Amino acid sequence: MTLRQKLFSLAVLYAMSCIVFAQHLPKDVAVIARSATLLDSFAGKFLYEKAADERCFPASTTKILTALVVIEAGGLDQQVVAAAPDTNVEPTIIGLRPGDVYTRRELLYSLMLKSANDAALALARANAGSVPEFCRRMNIRARALGAESSNFVNPHGLHHPSHYSTAKDLALITRAALELPAFREIVSSPYHLWRQPDGQPAQLVNRNRLLTHYPGCTGVKTGFTRRAGQVLVSSALRDGVELISVVLNTTNTGIWKDSETLLDAGFEISSKTQRSGVNTNIVSSSQP
């Protein structure tokens, strides 16, 4: 057999293996979300896309990037003194008052578990001196990660027509954030003990229900505004595979059902890949 014949035979065998494996991909993956994606975090490969490049409002999943920028800057045990502008925000807050003192780490827990918008402003100001400068840093970091279809004008995700992202961009940002041990520790915590200004303890409860309802869930962040709808970036780790699911503009039930559907399908694909040794193909949904 000549070299050309050998190469041709190998190409045919590879193509056939891909076709055979493709038949095992879930054909009925359906999500309510307007936009969604599933990323194999360790491999860096997208396994599912539905309007994944469409601009959507990210709501509080914005805080994933906020936390990423803050954590990468270091000094998480440095104290932050709350200022009056930090408290001028609603509706979800931790209740900061001018003069309150917390470490960056403590504020990050309130940011990611409670989804506190006042904590987002305090962290932004402490990191960059002002919110506009912090947002400039957010956009620079996002583009460095390949998230080039996003624009962030605040650190909390409250609605603004110029504040947008995509499912794929949020997956890329989350992938980088999960490489940080401090971020991973925070977003995987179902609860955290919070010290109120008067010294009394209070418990922060993580809004991500998948942490306690989906086996292997490792984070990361919920979000909602009337314009954004329900949004969720979630991650789960099983058998050495970590998947990142992003669902944007879904419903009150879809936020959980969509995410579980994508993660279940992804782990099924990964399990078959490990057994067969064949690479998976991207599943793309054209459903409305």
Specify if 11 maps to a domain: no
- When divided into structural domains, the chain yields a total of 1
Q: Which domain holds residue 92?
A: 28-284
C-alpha span between 86 and 145 (Å, rounded)? 28
Specify if 23 maps to a domain: no
pLDDT at 275: 59
How many alpha carbons lie under 13 Å from residue 152 in its C-beta half-sphere?
Answer: 34
Specify if 239 maps to a domain: yes
pLDDT at 269: 82
pLDDT at 118: 97
CATH number at residue 178: 3.40.710.10
∠ CA 112-116-119, nearest 5°, is 95
- Cβ–Cβ contacts within 10 Å for residue 149, how many? 17
Specify if 206 maps to a domain: yes
pLDDT at 197: 81
CB environment 15-52: b (16+ within 10 A), e (fewer)? eeeeeebeeebeeebebbbbbbbbbbbeeeebbbbbbb
- Cβ–Cβ contacts within 10 Å for residue 117, how many? 27
C-alpha span between 92 and 252 (Å, rounded)? 18
- Dig out the tokens for 98 from the structure: 């001018």
> What does each of the 288 residues of the chain score in pLDDT, given as a tens digit?
554 444 344 333 333 333 333 333 355 688 999 999 999 999 999 999 999 999 999 999 999 999 999 999 999 999 999 999 999 999 999 999 999 999 999 999 999 999 999 999 999 999 999 999 999 999 999 999 999 999 999 999 999 999 999 999 999 999 999 999 999 999 999 999 999 888 899 999 999 999 999 999 999 999 999 999 999 999 999 999 999 999 999 999 999 999 999 999 999 887 766 655 555 555 666 555
Specify if 71 maps to a domain: yes
Specify if 102 maps to a domain: yes
Specify if 218 maps to a domain: yes
Specify if 21 maps to a domain: no
Positions marked active-site: 60, 63, 115
